[in-house]
């Protein structure tokens, strides 16, 4: 019987297991997805989540390619019943210019992924974790994993030690596989040699919720709005209750060198960005301004004998294209498939069993990263805002922005390549005539001189 983490059971933990087939450290989207799939396949699965859900989290805009995954794990009907905001695309604006770029997901190459959702993560993550419970996983909240223990040679993960709420000494649970789904905390990263920060994406974000904003009329009213500026970019994510998540991403040094508080930096940035200021006119901020620093990183090694990392524990990309939840859940699904094959075949999970998982996951991250890095380069950004010479190029880009990176078709890969060819020509054009509105892009090249 799963332990819910509520009431007396969450303190005494009378049914905490000493062993399991899989232990999942972290109950966010990646951890919940892995636990749901493993439990549905009949494996004894334990989820250890440090916090008590629901809890606030950023990353509220989902991608269309997440929707069939929701269906595969059996949670789509529950998600729709919760009444999330439907998201059919995105609208990009470049501050102080006439450049705009609408993205309509239905115009992707296959046309089969026309929409997704905007969600408040506290509610969304709690729904996924409860679904893992209902699927048969034993879920323990307010359970802090203090250590992953390994075999004598230090190579094979054998289980974890965890400190449960109300107890003074950690317990141990042995497992055939340990999954690190602890997000940015990256529980196992130190054991694996640490994380590598992306020097081109050294960014920080400040964000808050507002009670309302001027959303577009009709179906596009649920679209995410992105405003690019000379030293950063904004997101405005509408929710079904009329409220909106507002955030700004800029070079991390802007936060470090700010003269006052993060709240002051945020409010002054709103005032300096007419497009955002106008959309928020008459609205009221409903929470304190929060901040996240040092956005992008990767972990060189994400699997081994008896363990793997999924979601943000493995890698985090700048959130400009809302990739976080998709990467977390897709990586968890891939990992669960690898673990199932290994356990059915030989009763244990070796590093070699994760080869396909790593290959597919890293290839997907690279496809996203090519666009994320390009978003901070003047020639790529202008190419993005410029009408494509062939409509199929735009459809290829739309497919990537919708999340179609894990199993991209040959046609999608070709038209994505064509976009990068166009960007190469734009680099030459900018070198000859100057970068114009995109001279500094969004901060990455702000210390360089113009051509």
pLDDT tens by residue, 73-123: 999 999 999 999 999 999 999 998 999 999 999 999 988 899 999 999 999
46 occurs within a structural domain: yes
Which residues, 6+ apart, have CB-to-CB distance to 127 below 8 Å? 75, 78, 79, 82
pLDDT for 198: 83
Q: Which two tokens stand for residue 97?
A: 């210019």
User: How far apart are the C-alpha atoms of 430 and 383, rounded to whole Å?
Assistant: 11
Q: What is the pLDDT of residue 85?
A: 97
Same domain? 37 vs 133: yes
Calpha distance 142→96 (Å, rounded): 47
Provide long-range contacts, Cβ within 8 A and 24+ apart, for 431-437.
435/378, 435/379, 435/382, 436/382, 437/94, 437/96, 437/97, 437/99, 437/382
- Residue-level pLDDT at 6: 40
Residues 22 and 147 in one domain: yes
Please state, in angstroms and rounded to a whole number, the distance separating the CA atoms of residues 398 and 113.
10
Please indicate, yes or no, whether residues 191 and 213 belong to a single structural domain of this protein. no
Residue 417 lies in a domain: yes
pLDDT at 255: 85
**Low-confidence residues of the chain: pLDDT under 70:** 1-14, 294-295, 440-451
Closest CA to 317 of 298, 293, 291: 298
E strands within 95-211? 100-104, 116-118, 138-140, 143-150, 157-164, 171-180, 196-197, 203-210
pLDDT, position 294:
65
Question: Same domain, yes or no, for 327 and 424?
Answer: no
pLDDT value at residue 447: 40
Sign (positive/negative) of CA torsion 84, 385, 422, 319? Answer: negative
16 and 70 share a domain?
A: no
Residue 441: per-residue pLDDT: 62
Q: Are residues 189 and 152 in the same domain?
A: yes
Which structural domain, as residue segments, surrounds residue 418?
Answer: 369-438
Do residue 20 and residue 140 come from a single domain?
yes
The answer to the question of residue 450 being in a domain is no
Q: Which of 270, 292, 314 marks a domain boundary?
A: 292
- Same domain membership, residue 344 and residue 225: no
Radius of gyration of the chain (CA): 22
Each residue of 179-199: pLDDT tens digit? 999 998 889 987 787 888 887
User: Would you mind telling me the total number of residues written for the chain in this entry?
Assistant: 451
Same domain, yes or no, for 27 and 141? Answer: yes
Helix pair 355-374, 410-433: axis angle to 10 deg: 30
Q: So what's the pLDDT on residue 430?
A: 93
Residues sharing a CB contact under 8 Å with residue 405, sequence separation 6 or more, in sequence order: 65, 363, 364, 367, 368
Q: SS3 of 208, please? A: strand
Closest CA to 105 of 61, 75, 41, 148: 61
Number of helices (H) and strands (E), helices first, in the chain?
13, 20
Residue 4 lies in a domain: no
pLDDT of amino acid 373: 87
Smallest Cα–Cα separation from 129: which of 191, 240, 234, 52? 52
The percent of residues in the chain predicted with pLDDT above 70, rounded, is 94
Overall pTM surpassing 0.85 (yes/no) = yes
Structural domain count, the chain: 3
């Amino acid at each position: 019987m799963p332990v819910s983490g509520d009431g007396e059971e969450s303190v005494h933990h009378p049914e905490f297991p000493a062993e399991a087939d899989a232990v999942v450290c972290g109950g966010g989207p990646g951890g919940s997805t892995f636990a749901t799939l493993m439990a549905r396949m009949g494996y004894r699965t334990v989820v250890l989540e440090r916090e008590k859900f629901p809890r606030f989290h950023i990353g509220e805009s989902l991608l269309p390619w997440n929707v069939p995954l929701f269906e595969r794990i059996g949670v789509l009907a529950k998600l729709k019943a919760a009444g999330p905001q439907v998201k059919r695309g995105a609208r990009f604006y470049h501050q102080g210019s006439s450049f705009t770029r609408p993205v309509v997901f239905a115009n992707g190459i296959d046309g089969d992924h026309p929409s997704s959702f905007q969600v408040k993560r506290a509610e969304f993550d709690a729904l996924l974790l409860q679904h893992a419970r209902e699927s048969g996983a034993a879920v323990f909240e307010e359970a802090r994993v203090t250590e992953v223990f390994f075999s004598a040679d230090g190579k094979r993960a054998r289980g974890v030690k965890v400190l449960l709420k109300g107890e003074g000494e950690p317990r141990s649970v042995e497992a055939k596989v340990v999954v690190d789904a602890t997000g940015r905390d990256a529980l196992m990263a130190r054991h694996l040699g640490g994380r590598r920060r992306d020097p081109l994406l050294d960014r920080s974000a400040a964000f808050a919720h507002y009670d309302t904003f001027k959303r577009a009329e009709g179906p596009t009213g649920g679209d995410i709005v992105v405003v690019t500026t000379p030293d950063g970019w904004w997101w405005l994510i509408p929710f079904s209750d009329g409220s909106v998540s507002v955030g700004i991403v800029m070079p991390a040094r802007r936060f470090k060198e700010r003269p006052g508080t993060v709240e002051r930096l945020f409010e002054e940035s709103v005032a300096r960005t007419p497009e955002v200021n106008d959309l928020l006119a008459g609205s009221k901020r409903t929470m304190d301004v929060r901040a996240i620093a040092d956005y992008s990183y990767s972990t060189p090694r994400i699997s081994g004998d008896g363990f793997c990392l999924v979601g943000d524990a493995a890698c985090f990309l700048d959130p400009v294209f809302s990739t976080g939840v998709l990467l977390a859940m897709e990586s968890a699904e891939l990992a669960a498939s690898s673990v199932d094959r290994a356990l059915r075949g030989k009763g244990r999970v070796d590093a070699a069993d994760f080869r396909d998982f790593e290959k597919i996951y890293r290839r997907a991250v690279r496809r996203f990263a090519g666009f994320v890095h390009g978003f901070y380069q003047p020639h790529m950004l202008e190419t993005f805002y410029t009408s494509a010479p062939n409509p199929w190029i735009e459809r290829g880009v739309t497919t990537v922005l919708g999340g179609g990176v894990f199993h991209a078709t040959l046609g999608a890969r070709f038209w994505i390549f064509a976009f990068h060819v166009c960007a190469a020509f734009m680099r030459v054009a900018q070198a000859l005539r100057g970068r114009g509105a995109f001279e500094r892009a969004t901060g990455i090249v702000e210390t360089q001189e113009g051509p």
